[in-house]
Amino acid sequence: MKQGSIIKGEITAIKPYGAFVKIEPEHVGLIHISEFSDGFVRSIEDYVGIGDILDLYVLEVSSDKLSLSYKKIHKRKKRYDIKLTNGFAPLKENLKSWIKNYNYKNDD
């Protein structure tokens, strides 16, 4: 097993800082919480559960311990990757009516 490999592992424990993974009988790995997503991770359980078997990317190998990544293989589309086909058309179409219907009374 070497850095850059893709391996299968079973989630054996979940802690606030990461998830422990069993890879073959003699190897244990850790997926640090920062390796689940490029965005904010509220809960690791949103990504994996105990007993899940998944493909993981090997970031680092040291003796019998592995540093693993979930996000390198399981990419999610980022909001800014989605193309907007309408552009600013809805804003242009509605802006005049929004301004016309705006209540200028002081709402204090």
Three-class SS state of 78: coil
104 token code pair = 């200028």
CB proximity list for 96: less than 8 A, separation 6 or greater: none
> When comparing pLDDT for 79 and 107, which is higher?
107
Q: How confident is the model at residue 4 (pLDDT cuts 50, 70, 90)?
A: very high
Please give the single-letter amino acid code of residue 54. L
Give pLDDT tens digits for 30-42.
999 999 988 888 8
CB proximity list for 56: less than 8 A, separation 6 or greater: 6, 7, 8, 9, 21, 29, 31, 68, 69, 70, 73
Q: How confident is the model at residue 26 (pLDDT cuts 50, 70, 90)?
A: confident
Q: Is the pLDDT of residue 27 over 80?
A: yes
Task: Classify domain 6-76 at the CATH topology level.
Answer: OB fold (Dihydrolipoamide Acetyltransferase, E2P) (2.40.50)
Q: Is the pLDDT of residue 103 over 80?
A: no
Give pLDDT tens digits for 50-99.
999 999 999 998 877 899 999 998 876 444 444 556 677 777 787 888 78
pTM assigned to the model: 0.67
Residue tagged 């606030």 (tokens):
16
Residue 106 confidence (pLDDT) = 55
